Chain A
């Protein structure tokens, strides 16, 4: 479904990502792990087109999207969350989801429909997403006024409301307590079961080991391992680079 072919991103002399090959298969949860600064978030940024690649190609669903603009990639089916929560704080929870979720559908709506509130289907879609993330009671609250945990959920909801085929989750568990991580685990599974492919970047190893079908490990911008959770855990290179440090394991 998604294929990264020898992608590189250099910031001046810093090789943030250096010739990484990575393939994500349809319907799987692929976790991308690695120490801080190993290039995980950069890869997400490259996939969604936040900045241009230094080298390599990004192929999504058989089409080369290396040079496609951001909004075109979204309607093509790529959506993401941000590690540091990024919401439209001055808009309500409802509005945060309402426009996003139409990115694909909106194009098919007439101008008048868009002007007068979108189709009934679009509104129902927002309702369901709010229910799923337990945010329905906050529907008319400004996003900026939400509590941290709610903002995290809204961040996930916002990305999901763009109806992605491929969802990029950039450290969704950051700052969450055990119970919230449990709910997150369930939600990611549910999303995958609904047919969304997930690329998960995460430091929380328990979550990664619990839900990932496969894991790829980055270190210094290069991929050093890829495989099932068990095989990655057993890999000495990975242990040395990442899992071996006690405070992160």
Chain B
């Protein structure tokens, strides 16, 4: 694999975390334009942890997840009371707030005669953990994808769990879900927290992948894209948003002759799919049909059919 390929694959892996984060909220019917904020918080938190505090990478990534998830819960408790468009606008406003706060955020420590740490709009240089510990690009790529596989495994379990079904119920008809005894507010905050944590891990990986973060990266377009990934790829399964990332970064951004037209093609794809397949390529119906090809009782429990419990 050449460096370019590794770079593209790493990028796809990292962005998948934000895409899955937006997807998780989409499951509960909420459209968030602000998941890049938790990505940013995770990136800064994890970067500070390794570069300034000397934490090991695993702990720093966990810290990124906790920061992202914690922030998402704090923001979610008041904003998830808003519905539809109002929630979307609130998330957008919050994300811009976070970005601007990071432009003002200065926290530098002298390490080996050099100032390290976030320096406002200048960004945060010198997150050199992978160099200092001789982790090469392929090893880091493996780390990204092992975490991604673990997250996908979590999603597969979630989709089979009552909590996951409750998320989808709320997404389809929140009133009816309430009438079935599901506490809508609590489930939404749980989803927001998990989504924030996912974006946080992604941010932590991103910071260590590029060794440098600046507030400008976490602008609205990142949020819009991560939302679009789920809408393009499909809301029937967690592999939907991954498909969206693949189409965008794998196809449009990485094939050089296409790159210049990326936004035009991407916008076109979004517009066409919203009309033709409003719930994405891998929507619920398709996923259900594919699932039944392989497992007769999918997605009910394997002993949910035939054998009386």
- Please list the residues of chain A having a beta carbon within 8 angstroms of any beta carbon in chain B: 48, 50, 69-71, 74-75, 79-80, 86-92, 94-95, 98-100, 102-104, 106, 114-118, 120-121, 123-124, 126-127, 139-140, 142, 144, 158, 162
Contact = CB atoms under 8 A, between A and B. Distances in A.
Given A90-B172, A94-B304, A114 B161 contact: yes
Contacts of B160: 117
30 contacts: A71-B182, A74-B181, A75-B181, A79-B180, A86-B173, A86-B176, A88-B169, A89-B172, A94-B300, A94-B304, A99-B165, A99-B166, A99-B169, A99-B180, A100-B180, A102-B181, A103-B180, A114-B161, A115-B163, A116-B161, A118-B162, A123-B309, A127-B309, A139-B297, A139-B300, A139-B305, A140-B298, A142-B285, A144-B285, A162-B180
Nearest to B181: A103
A72 to B, nearest CB: 8
Contact of A95 (B300, B305, B308): B300
B157 interface: yes
B182 A103 contact: yes
Contacts of B298: 140
B299 A124 contact: no
A100 B180 CA distance: 5
Which one of B165, B166, B180, B300 has the highest number of Cβ atoms from chain A below 10 Å of its Cβ?
B180
B184 interface: yes
Q: Which of B184, B284, B292 has the most CB of A within 10 A?
A: B284
Given A99-B166, A127-B308, 4 more contacts: A79-B179, A127-B304, A140-B300, A142-B285
A95 B304 CA distance: 11
> Which of A89, A90, A124 has the most chain B CB atoms closer than 10 A to its own CB?
A90
Interface residues of B, number: 36
Given A71-B183, A99-B162, A124-B309, A50 B157 contact: no
A149 to B, nearest CB: 20
A215 to B, nearest CB: 25
B172 A88 contact: yes
Contacts of B300: 92, 94-95, 98, 139-140
Contacts of A88: 168-169, 172-173, 176
B301 interface: yes
Contacts of A115: 157-158, 161-163
A68 B179 CA distance: 12
Given A86-B176, A115-B161, A139-B305, A92 B181 contact: no
Given A90-B172, A115-B163, A71 B178 contact: yes
B304 A126 contact: yes
B179 A80 contact: yes
Contact of A70 (B158, B172, B179, B308): B179
A127 B301 CA distance: 12
Nearest to B296: A140
Contacts of B110: none
A100 B305 CA distance: 18
Contacts of A104: 181
A213 to B, nearest CB: 25
Nearest to A78: B179
Contacts of B139: none
A140 B297 contact: yes
A158 B157 CA distance: 24
A114 B178 contact: no
Contacts of A94: 300, 304
A100 B182 CA distance: 8
B288 interface: yes
A71 B309 contact: no
A91 B179 contact: no
Rank and list the top 8 A-B pairs by shortest CB-CB distance, nearest first. Answer: A103-B181, A74-B181, A100-B180, A124-B309, A70-B178, A90-B284, A94-B300, A115-B161
Nearest to B302: A117
Contacts of B161: 114-117
Q: Which of A48, A99, A127 has the most B CB atoms < 10 Å from its CB?
A: A99
A104 B166 CA distance: 14
B108 interface: no
A123 B168 contact: no
A120 B173 contact: no
Contact of A74 (B169, B179, B305, B308): B179
A99 B285 contact: no
A91 B169 contact: yes
Contacts of B2: none
Contacts of B158: 115
B181 A91 contact: no
A92 B305 CA distance: 13
